[in-house]
Amino acid sequence: MKRTYLTSITAAMLAASAITVAAGSSSADPFGSASGSLDSGSAALGSSSKKPQHYGKLGRPDAPNGVKSINVWVYTPNKTPEISPSVYPRNTRIGVKWNSTIDAGNVIDGNECKMSVVLSGPKIPKKAAVTKTADCTAVKSYQLKTAGDYKITVTDGVSGASNSIKFTLQ
């Protein structure tokens, strides 16, 4: 009986977690935790639509790596809560997660990309402004201290696909 009860609670928690991820909550973490470095990960976020949805600037149809689009999320690796949607306290570690998808919607979890991750905003350290990696799906985090509006843009140099996300520190 006790094992059945725990299994039911675990199933309910997983269902609630899936709803949060599907709803696009920026605190959802489909990649696992980030240590502050560039870490690979993968995610398969579901949709009720039978046809995949692609966002941002789409990749070229003839791209050798097959990247059609890039999904981008902002999150806080240290679980710092948002003040309001896309607004975080200053002096917070902010992470960006991205995954690349093919036309059918499947995630590419390999190193066939030439990703450029550009962080713009007030007082960005020179070494944090641009990060380059071959990882098509990964995470990167930054320690940001200055209040203001920020933007992170992830672009694949192979396919031309690109997407960005904005957030604010108060």
Residue 11 domain flag? no
Residue 14 domain flag? no
Tell me the mean pLDDT in the region 101-123. Answer: 96
Determine the distance from the C-alpha atom of residue 149 to the mean position of all C-alpha atoms in its chain, rounded to a whole number.
18
Domain ranges, residue 139: 27-169
Confidence of residue 101 (pLDDT cuts 50, 70, 90): very high
Residue 55 domain flag? yes
State how far the Cα of 5 lies from the Cα of 1, in Å rounded to an integer. Answer: 6
Q: Which of 9-13, 60-64, 91-95 has the lowest mean pLDDT?
A: 9-13
The tokens for 20 are 């949060």
Residue 121's domain is classified under what CATH number?
A: 2.60.40.1930
pLDDT in tens, 142-153: 999 999 999 999
Residue 5 domain flag? no
In Å, the largest CA–CA distance within the chain is 58
Q: What burial class does residue 81 get, using C-beta atoms within 10 Å of its C-beta: 0-12 exposed, 13-18 middle, 19+ buried?
A: exposed
Residue 6 domain flag? no
Q: Are 91 and 77 in contact (CB under 8 A)?
A: no
* Count of domains for the chain: 1
pTM over 0.75: no
